[in-house]
């Protein structure tokens, strides 16, 4: 009887208790920085806790290193929030989930003023699983999906093993581009379709970024610039000190037949 009791005790210890007082102070605006574990931690599935932490709208959310991965189903970002992932943190897609063909690990539609910073932290999906018989084939299960967003910074993170792109810059509303996006010191590793896809962006800076080992479904590029309509934009796009390596497709791919003389691009 002692062994089952020990197992139950260890399982209970692995789950973080909810800090109701701290959560109340965040809700009252008294605390501007919060730890995600205040909303709890469950090693089997921390989606509820982490989404609640994001939805608190605290100006700065620290996803703390609790010694185990934060296992989650799709998460939605909010405007006006900085999320800092502590060194060593892994946010991992829950196995057997992400059955929707557009299910992404983190996504934001029509949001603004977002910072995702995580030097030494990783956002990881289950790329090999999505090719299996339990999943409908798709190429849009991204690690980070940004659609029609503005004022976004992504720094220091590794985004790995998505069922689509490491980072996708698309549209949530017709002709509304992504504006003022910076991707810096990021590693895109072993993604399924691309390291980065840029459908539409204005004032995009990608700096000190590595895009490697993309394989799975075409184009399998390090980065692909691929607008879908003439009204989509590629304006003031700068790549500085970036590396592509060992991608099954091209390193830097530009597929722009959908643009025409009326399109805004430079």
Is 185 within the bounds of a domain? yes
Whether 104 is covered by a domain: the verdict is: yes
Residue 147 lies in a domain: yes
Would residue 156 count as lying in a domain?
Answer: yes
Classified as helix, coil or strand, 10 is helix
Domain extent, residue 164, equals 73-254
In a domain, 45, yes or no: no
DSSP per position, 121-176: -EEE--HHHHTSTTS---S-B-SEEEES-EEEEEES-EEE--BSEEEEEE-SSTT-
Would 29 be classed as within a structural domain? no
pLDDT tens across the length of the chain (266 residues): 454 544 444 444 468 899 999 999 999 999 999 999 999 999 999 999 999 999 999 999 999 999 999 999 999 999 999 999 999 999 999 999 999 999 999 999 999 999 999 999 999 999 999 999 999 999 999 999 999 999 999 999 999 999 999 999 999 999 999 999 999 999 999 999 999 999 999 999 999 999 999 999 999 999 999 999 999 999 999 999 999 999 999 999 998 888 888 887 66
What is the reported pTM?
A: 0.94
Instruction: Tally the domains of the chain.
Output: 1
* CATH code of residue 185: 2.160.20.10
């Amino acid at each position: 009887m002692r062994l089952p009791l020990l197992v139950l005790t260890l399982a209970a210890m692995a789950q973080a208790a909810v800090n109701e007082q701290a959560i109340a102070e965040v809700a009252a605006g008294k605390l501007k920085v919060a730890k995600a574990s205040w909303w709890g931690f469950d090693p089997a599935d921390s989606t509820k806790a982490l989404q609640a932490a994001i939805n608190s709208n605290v100006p700065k959310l620290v996803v703390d290193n609790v010694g185990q991965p934060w296992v989650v189903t799709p998460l939605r970002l909010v405007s006006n929030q900085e999320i800092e992932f502590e060194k060593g943190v892994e946010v991992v897609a829950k196995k057997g989930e992400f059955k929707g063909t557009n299910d992404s690990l983190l996504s934001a539609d029509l949001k603004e003023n977002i910072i995702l910073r995580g030097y030494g932290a990783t956002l990881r999906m289950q790329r090999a699983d999505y090719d299996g018989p339990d999943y409908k084939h798709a190429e849009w299960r991204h690690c980070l999906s940004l659609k029609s967003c503005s004022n976004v910074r992504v720094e220091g993170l590794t985004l790995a093993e998505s069922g689509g792109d490491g980072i996708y810059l698309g549209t949530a509303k017709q002709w509304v581009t992504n504006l003022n996006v910076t991707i810096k010191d990021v590693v895109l590793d072993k993604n399924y379709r691309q390291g980065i896809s840029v459908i539409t962006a204005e004032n995009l800076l990608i700096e000190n970024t590595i895009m490697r080992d993309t394989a799975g479904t075409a184009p399998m590029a390090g980065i692909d610039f691929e607008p879908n309509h003439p009204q989509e934009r590629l304006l003031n796009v700068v790549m500085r000190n970036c590396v592509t390596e060992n991608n099954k497709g091209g390193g830097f791919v530009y597929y722009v037949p959908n643009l025409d003389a009326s399109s805004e691009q430079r």
